[in-house]
Amino acid sequence: MVERVPEGVDTSRPSIARVYDAVLGGEHNFAVDRAIADEALRIVPEIGDVGRYNRALLGRGVRYLAQAGTRQFLDLGSGLPTVRNTHEAARASAPDARVVYVDIDPAVSAYGREILAADPSTALLTADLREPDTVLDHPEVRRLIDFGEPVGLLLLGVIHHLNDEEDPAGIVKRYVDALPPGSHLFLTHFCASSPDAAQLESALLSDLGTGRFRTLEEITAYFDGLELVDPGVTYLPRWRPDKPVGLPLTVGQSLMAGGLARKN
């Protein structure tokens, strides 16, 4: 539970980042956030595991990218700093990795800056990913990301917070178009995989205002024009697992899907 409220943080309205933190069992959240996390927990009791599957996948995907030679990462909708952030995952294989974190929520930078303060190879920006030009031209992005070298673009658990009218596919494409060949798109998304997923979508849309569950086909379409890395777009625990995953998957295990693809 948070005792100190950072500047610019509104505790009377829920925030996506803090609801996610509450679901993960973190401490940077308030009563308004926990009410939504509790409702999500009622609908899908394994919801906490879903966040953990997503963070575990972040680790596996970033390790894949670092081992494939990626040295710079742009992590959009990065969330509150939590265990094993992108720069830690990357540096386990590539100690010289550079990471720019971007999130719309001022609470993310308030807490995150303390963690990243002493690290000149990371930056944390408060910005809206729906404004690609602002993000791509930001001085901190230009300082740390060389657009002449492959970039790992991370959009994990965030594109489902864009409604259809906001043209999520167009926004993803705008970022991918800015990257040189050899770059990768790494994306995870709520998946319309069960009646419980539909119920959770209704609850999130009404309480939080965002949270679109899209089909595997719709999620796959974000990777149009790119070469998907095996096994393609799939449910999180099935993407290059470190140990075998039992089948059939549970509701929670299939609540999100994602993939990683190369720009040739």
Nearer to ligand SAM, 158 or 179 (CB): 158
Shortest reach from residue 20's CB to ligand SAM, in Å: 4
Are 175 and 151 in contact, with CB atoms under 8 Å apart? no
Shortest reach from residue 264's CB to ligand SAM, in Å: 25
Query: 24-30 long-range CB contacts below 8 Å, 24 or more apart?
Result: 24/48, 24/51, 24/52, 24/55, 24/82, 26/80, 26/82, 27/1, 27/2, 28/2, 28/80, 28/107, 28/111, 29/1, 29/2, 30/1, 30/2
Residues 11-70 touching ligand SAM, rule: CB under 6 A, are 16-17, 20, 54-55, 58
AA letter at 246 = G
**Segment contacting ligand SAM (CB under 6 A): 66-74, 88-96, 123-131, 177-185?**
123-131
Of 156, 216, 236, 256, the one binding ligand SAM (CB under 6 A) is 156
Are 98 and 123 in contact, with CB atoms under 8 Å apart? no
Shortest reach from residue 221's CB to ligand SAM, in Å: 20
Of 167, 185, 163, the C-alpha closest to 176 is 185
Structure tokens at 226: 């790119």
**Segment contacting ligand SAM (CB under 6 A): 27-35, 39-47, 102-110, 192-200?**
102-110
Residue 159 binds ligand SAM (CB under 6 A): no
β strands within 4-159, DSSP E: 72-76, 98-103, 122-126, 152-156
Residues 202-261 touching ligand SAM, rule: CB under 6 A, are none
According to DSSP, the residues that pair with 74 across neighbouring strands are 100, 153
Of 77, 132, 152, 252, the one binding ligand SAM (CB under 6 A) is 77
Residue 129 binds ligand SAM (CB under 6 A): yes
Which contiguous run of DSSP H or E holds residue 88? helix 86-91
d(Cα 235, Cα 61) in Å, to the nearest integer? 14
Residue nearest to ligand SAM (CB): 79
Per-residue binding string, ligand SAM, 174-213, x by CB under 6 A, is: ----------------------------------------
Of 100, 116, 153, 158, the one binding ligand SAM (CB under 6 A) is 158
Binding site for ligand SAM (CB under 6 A): 16-17, 20, 54-55, 58, 77-79, 102-105, 108, 128-130, 156-158, 161
